Amino acid sequence: MIHSITISALGVIEATDVEFGPGLTVLTGETGAGKTMVLTSVNLLLGRRADPGLVRAGHNAATVDGIFSLTPALAKRAEELGAQTDDDEIIVSRTVAAQGRSRAHLGGRPVPAAVLAELADQLVTIHGQADQLELRGTSAQRETLDAHGGAPHASLLAAYNEAWARAVAAKRAFDEALNSHEDRSAEIESLRGAITAIAELNVQAGEEDELRAETERLTNIEDLRQYIGKSHAMLTAGESSSTALDLARQSLEELRHATRFDPSLDTFYERLNSLCLELDAFADDLGHYLRGLEADPVRLAALHDRRAALRELLRGRASDTAELLDWYEKAQQRLDLLENSRQTPEECQRILEEAKEEVLRIGAELTAARQRHATSLSEAVTTELRALAMPNARFIIELTPRKPSPHGCEDVTFLLQAHPSMQARPLGQGASGGELSRIMLALEVVLGQGSTSPTYIFDEVDAGIGGRTATEVGRRLAKLARHKQVIVVTHLPQVAAFAAQHLVVNKEGASTTVHAVNGNERVDELARMMGADEGSDVARRHAQELLESASMEES
């Protein structure tokens, strides 16, 4: 249930705290006072759309904080989302910036508004005049009937949805089998050829760099011999002139003589001696390399062939051999899938027919269940309508067979027979606003007894009714509130009289406040709702009578 909300800079509300109790709570106040803003704040906490235009003029942002109590299952889910709970209570916050951005927090943790919306359906059920229009639609009517079936019916509905999904998948597979049998065979042959070629070539990751380097060396073997030969000769092959090694050794000998006069030159001597040894070893290594430089046209041709084969395999598959080997692994998996899961059109058609039969079988079970629930729901709602000043009305649920669809094998239509002498008509064609209000309330009273939602909010669901009917509406709301927290925005004193808690929304100047009324204040508010002049004794007596009558019924 909702324990409290704190509103700041939202619409006409500068700042206010609203405390909610269990049972039936009514919100009343003059038109334009800000009752809608209270419900808007709840909608924000439930992850609904944030309108920057609601931010109060002169403020950068509007904020709403709410404290909710959670069932153990919801508390566990909130903690999975990283939120902190306290004795199964949680703080939900929403901030709407005037520039258009909004932020949401769940138990102190920033979350997307979608996370709040995920929990919303299990926290609060909200109904307004827009829901009356929605109730005229067949989708809402079907969902309402299914909701009446409870958990067992939900399981059957889920089984049908799964069967339908399998049938859709089977139809898609059948169509693909018909249309792509040749393409499938061509893909298999292509994969086999590429996989075989890669395996036979024994491709190694990174080998293209080595092949490129070796090809470059063999292609330019004569230039290499010339340059390396000259380099080696400068080090070792001096017949008429001194070589680099000769000069280095002569320098070393001169330096050795100098060390006799200055011992500090020993370090220079050691360094040059190391260089001479290194240069000597280097000359040997370079000579060894030079002797190995021989032309190999056979090897060069083989290199060209392998590089050409690699380029052919890479084309359209990869940019280098590492990627090619990755493609090779995936290609093997794809080939295995195509070869081992390959189904002929005939096999796919058999699977499709089996899936269709399953849809029809479970669909028949769903139809039978809906027929049972339609009977019980129509009888229960009819009983409620009689208590709502519609003694001759009948609520009828009609199931019309149709081709199997994602939602079942029948269309669901709600009808109202306002009087035995009148023809039953679909809600969308003949029901008035007042009748729709009562039908919706009757449905909620019936469905609410088995619903898991702990809180119901009605936004002027009593529009279009009055007099004795209004009293009956208040009575039914009070009945629903025996098991749920019910919050109602109403303009009817007959409804407000049944409340366990009466909150008045007052507009004083440019600001709005919300406060609870009791005793004489509550009598005055009911009198105002009757349209009486302020201080009217007749209206106050009538208001007192309404309160006493409602209190006697609830006691």
Where does residue 416 fall: left (phi above 0), alpha (psi -120 to 50 degrees), or beta otherwise? beta
Residues 6+ apart with CB under 8 A from 11: 34, 36, 37, 40, 54, 56, 62, 512
DSSP 211: H
pLDDT at 155: 95
DSSP strand pairing (455-459 vs 511-516): unpaired
Q: Is residue 267 part of a domain?
A: yes
How far apart, in whole angstroms, are the C-alpha atoms of residue 259 and residue 168? Answer: 97
Q: What is the pTM of this model?
A: 0.61
Q: Is residue 535 part of a domain?
A: no
Q: Is residue 301 part of a domain?
A: yes
Q: Is residue 224 part of a domain?
A: yes
Nearest to 194 by CA among 60, 23, 313: 313
CB atoms within 10 A of CB 547: 20
Element (H, E) at 4: strand 2-10
Residues 6+ apart with CB under 8 A from 351: 170, 173, 174, 343
Q: What does the block give as tokens for 496? A: 């407000």
The angle at the Cα of 323, spanning 320 to 326, to the nearest 5 degrees, equals: 150
In one letter, which amino acid is 288? Answer: H
Q: Is residue 521 part of a domain?
A: no
Q: Provide the number of structural domains found in the chain.
A: 1
User: If DSSP states are collapsed to H, E and C, what string results for 468-485?
Assistant: HHHHHHHHHHHHHCCCCE
φ and ψ at 110, to 5 degrees?
-65, 135
How far apart, in whole angstroms, are the C-alpha atoms of residue 238 and residue 244? Answer: 9
In one letter, which amino acid is 387? Answer: A
How far apart, in whole angstroms, are the C-alpha atoms of residue 474 and residue 266? Answer: 113
φ and ψ at 27, to 5 degrees?
-115, 120
Q: Is residue 239 part of a domain?
A: yes
Residues 6+ apart with CB under 8 A from 303: 211, 214, 215, 218
Radius of gyration of the chain (CA): 43
Residue pair 289/228 in contact by the 8 Å Cβ criterion: yes
pLDDT at 240: 56
Q: What is the pLDDT along the chain (555 residues), one digit of tens a residue?
A: 899 999 999 988 888 899 999 999 999 988 776 788 888 899 899 888 888 988 998 899 999 999 998 888 888 888 887 788 887 888 999 999 988 888 999 888 888 888 888 887 778 888 776 666 567 788 889 999 998 998 899 999 999 999 999 999 999 888 877 776 667 778 888 899 999 998 888 888 888 888 888 888 888 888 888 888 888 888 887 565 678 888 888 888 888 888 888 888 899 999 999 999 999 899 898 889 888 888 888 888 988 998 898 988 888 888 888 898 999 998 888 888 777 766 778 888 999 999 999 999 999 999 999 999 999 999 999 998 988 888 899 999 999 999 999 999 999 999 999 889 889 998 877 677 778 878 888 888 888 766 677 888 888 777 777 788 888 888 888 888 888 899 999 989 999 999 999 999 988 777 788 889 999 999 999 999 888 776 678 888 998 999 988 888 765
Which class for 291: exposed (0-12), middle (13-18), buried (19 or more C-beta within 10 A)? exposed
pLDDT at 517: 94
pLDDT at 441: 83
Residue 303: domain span = 207-319
How far apart, in whole angstroms, are the C-alpha atoms of residue 95 and residue 309? Answer: 64
pLDDT at 346: 84
Residue pair 511/58 in contact by the 8 Å Cβ criterion: no
Q: Is residue 514 part of a domain?
A: no
Q: Is residue 278 part of a domain?
A: yes
pLDDT at 159: 97
β-partners of residue 110 are 105
